[in-house]
Structure 1
Amino acid sequence: MRQKQKQPIRLMKCKAYSREMMMSAYKAVKDDHLPVDRAAIMYGVPKQTLRDRVLNKVKISSRWGKDSLFTYEEEELLVSHLEGLAQVGYGINRSQLNILAGDLAVKLGRRLTESKLSNNWYYAFLRRWTHRLKVIKPRGLSSTRAAAVTQENIDSYFRDLDAILTKYSLKCKPHLIHNLDETDIQPEHRPSKVIT
């Protein structure tokens, strides 16, 4: 028995056209009484798209492409929030941003369910804000170091540091203070990429 050979999936080709091309075709139909089919061919626009605008099914001034979930101003607030988080050392990853944006959409009444947004939204969002956001891989932090970062330990460190600076009269001699750090540490904790 012969197996039926699978046919390759044919993708529909979308012809690119500009707003100016559509406006010229629209004016040719409305002002010069050119048939829709001929105007569409002359100006390189889809026939049905032009026909919908001529018949007022779609406004000629309607926005191109799919509407964004958030307005420009709302997205700018989200970007500012992400920048603020990054400045204090708290970058969030893709999944966290999708959840945060999903919660925001629910609070603004744009979505009914409290579920995270898709990765399609995430990548489109990053493309719109490449001039302010980028995804980076943060440095790792060992688990023992992460566990040691408590408020008590931090307070104790600064008390001890103040005592040393006072003991050796270094508070007014910053040129004698040097900062040293560990090198060649293999961190155990390897966080995911974050938006900064």
Structure 2
Amino acid sequence: MVMETCAPVKTAARQYGVRHNTLRDRVNGRLDSQTVMAGQGQLLSTEEKAKLVDHVKYMANLGNGSTITEVVAKATDYAVF
């Protein structure tokens, strides 16, 4: 949008919910515009994510909802082992 319509970076960033610094870096060529994410890759595979979601849903159906801390601990278990 920014490059095609010359829209201001801050306006486009706000419209699409991205940080304006990130968008500016992509427009100026400091980040590859085709790269989806920078930094560390995914820690969990799609299968591991599905297992985690199933576990959280299962526990919720039993009446034992999980806290964020518990979900993060379970995700860490999947990522480490």
The TM-score with structure 1 as length reference comes to: 0.26
User: Which residue of 1 is the match for residue 21 of structure 2?
Assistant: 13
Larger-gyration structure (1/2): 1
Q: Which runs of 4+ in 1 moved over 3 A?
A: none
- CA spacing shift, 1:76–1:49, aligned 2, 3 Å: same
**Cα drift, residue 99 of structure 1:** 1.3
- CA spacing shift, 1:16–1:77, aligned 2, 3 Å: farther
The structure in which a higher percent of residues are helix is 2
**Cα drift, residue 104 of structure 1:** 1.7
Deviations 1:120-144 (A, max 9, x none): xxxxxxxxxxxxxxxxxxxxxxxxx
Alignment of 1:108-187 (within 5 A): none
- State the alpha-carbon separation in 2 of the partners of residues 69 and 82 from structure 1: 18
- State the alpha-carbon separation in 1 of the partners of residues 31 and 66 from structure 2: 41
Q: Which amino acid aligns with 1:49?
A: L
Residue ranges of structure 2 left out of the alignment (5+ in a row):
1-19
- Aligned match for 1:102, one of 65, 73, 76: 76
| Count of aligned pairs between the two proteins | 60
- State the alpha-carbon separation in 1 of the partners of residues 66 and 42 from structure 2: 22
Are residues 1:78 and 2:78 paired?
A: no
Residue ranges of structure 1 left out of the alignment (5+ in a row):
1-11, 18-43, 54-59, 108-196
Are residues 1:69 and 2:43 paired?
A: yes
Give aligned-pair identity as a percent: 23
The TM-score with structure 2 as length reference comes to: 0.55
What is the alpha-carbon root mean square deviation over aligned residues? Answer: 3.0
